[in-house]
Structure 1
């Protein structure tokens, strides 16, 4: 079943910018699943270094993940409006407004050249696909191309534009929604419902993502027609994860709940509710557009976390945190696989 990606366990580790590096991806790969590197916030040199470190640790397949958004300039009006919304918080921490935080950048010509040299086994995209020429170049080089769909319409669009596999992202999933044909949150549905909609409508393999935490969850998704599952939240407490202490405490707190919000980046994403979401509302139309909103929040996040608070931290997490454990990534992956096998005995 997992031979299409040359892996022995049908699990793909979700790329998680900010909370992982090559170490987590390599540990997943060492277990026999597919490790992923989030590259949307890395420079070309950083991507090269991460891939080199991964390949020194293991010869297993590797997935490089990129964003495909349009990088429109940030208007002075939008920037000023966002700074004014955050002004009280800057005053609270005696900080000066700043736009120094790293931005999520789209897959461009320069990065495409780097990827061509690195020759990864898999490249995955969020927010659609790059232009046809870049997709064709990857496929001609033997790279397996994945992208995320949150609706049937997006899945059909991706299939028509050449993807080899579709990541069906249910509304339960943590992190950014992969929406690209519409930004209507009412169109978002559960992983189970989305898988059922895709059955018989798409001819390429489907990867289920969202709300998957146990062996039983994985088996259910495979029974519903998924060829693989993608897990992210499950790995957030693992030893190799770079999850901050305030983030870890929020993950284990029984009172923590998640919601879709745009206040951290400008696009809808699921994360653990905190002060900024409560103050501004989960969805706020005055937030700076994606990806610019996050840069102005960087100094506030650092100041609050230094005081042991996650008030301004984007703590992405799915609705189902049951699998989160403070163990090694390889152990967690193998435990899930063992439990899956036990279900069949």
Structure 2
């Protein structure tokens, strides 16, 4: 069965869910163009999720995907937080920020029974996960309305783990991919490999369809992935300049500049390893810092720095998420881009 047949879409193109840079508009545009639009939900409240799904389903009758995180929230660690704020202290001084006024809210929550209740009202055809899978009873709820379940693997072991738990398809996320690594069995970066090394190994190891993700930016990249056994591709970075994305001006500017050629994995913005364009704070603290608290706790202390800098037109403290291949980023509609990625022109 092709991914098109499984998911009810025209093209084997899945728009990657990108929390913080998109809402329902991008998902609607991709789904209406024949791909699978995705809505990132990890940063939404139940009410926000309901509002976004109401808007999405009023604008498309095509299949769509909703995406959630499955991380285990860490226990707050006062000592770790003190270390982190001490590392950021010079920047707080620079911007006149009182650390005592900073919230400790992380802003990212794993999939829960409460969110599943909201989903049951809409019965989304596809639900995807990052950082593993939720509890079996939550997966059973999705299956109960006929929903297909996808999840991300960054190693062969993770792919086998997901297959054993009954996912319908696996997203093989190569090291080139922008945003957060979906790893969950190990946080060892040395286990991570590039898309075109990982993909054929996962295809060989599992029987379920495999979707390639990471470094794919045009129709030729899509075809290369399909040649290596992928049944579909998931693409995020190329959509960041589309008008339907909520990518902020400082992020758009970075994507259009030569700076976009240099990306790195960093834990500074959330505590989890994620790929973005190298900026001031990544250069000065180093992209991976032992001072950063566990995911997603690092985000609270850095948020006011980001806000102050962005107000001045600077992305020095912003998570400028991007994959290693930004060549596909263009200011065209998501519909045009989706069809071009599928090799059918405009």
1:49 maps to 2:54: no
Structure 2 counterpart of 1:324: 329
**Any stretches of 5+ residues in structure 1 without a counterpart?**
none
1:145 maps to 2:149: yes
Structure 1 counterpart of 2:21: 19
Which 10-residue stretch deviates more, 33-42 or 116-125? 116-125
Q: Give 3-state SS (helix, strand or coil) of 2:133's partner.
A: coil
What whole-Å deviation, never above 9, does each CA across 1:3-33 have from its counterpart, x for those lacking one? 2110001100000011101111100011000
Structure 1 counterpart of 2:240: 236
Deviation at 1:116, TM superposition (A): 2.0
Rounded Cα–Cα distance in structure 1 between residues aligned with 2:121 and 2:240: 31
**Any stretches of 5+ residues in structure 2 without a counterpart?**
none
- Mapped contact 1:12–1:231 kept (Cα < 8 A): yes
After TM superposition, list the pairs within 5 Å mapping 1:1-345 onto structure 2: 1=2, 2-97=4-99, 98-99=102-103, 103-256=107-260, 257-337=262-342, 340-341=343-344
TM-score with structure 1 setting the length: 0.96
Rounded Cα–Cα distance in structure 2 between residues aligned with 1:93 and 1:221: 46
What whole-Å deviation, never above 9, does each CA across 1:245-301 have from its counterpart, x for those lacking one? 111111111233101111111110000001111111111111011111111111110
Rounded Cα–Cα distance in structure 2 between residues aligned with 1:116 and 1:179: 27
Rounded Cα–Cα distance in structure 2 between residues aligned with 1:134 and 1:102: 23
Q: Give 3-state SS (helix, strand or coil) of 2:128's partner.
A: strand
- Mapped contact 2:174–2:192 kept (Cα < 8 A): yes
- Mapped contact 1:101–1:297 kept (Cα < 8 A): no
TM-score with structure 2 setting the length: 0.96
- Mapped contact 1:66–1:125 kept (Cα < 8 A): yes
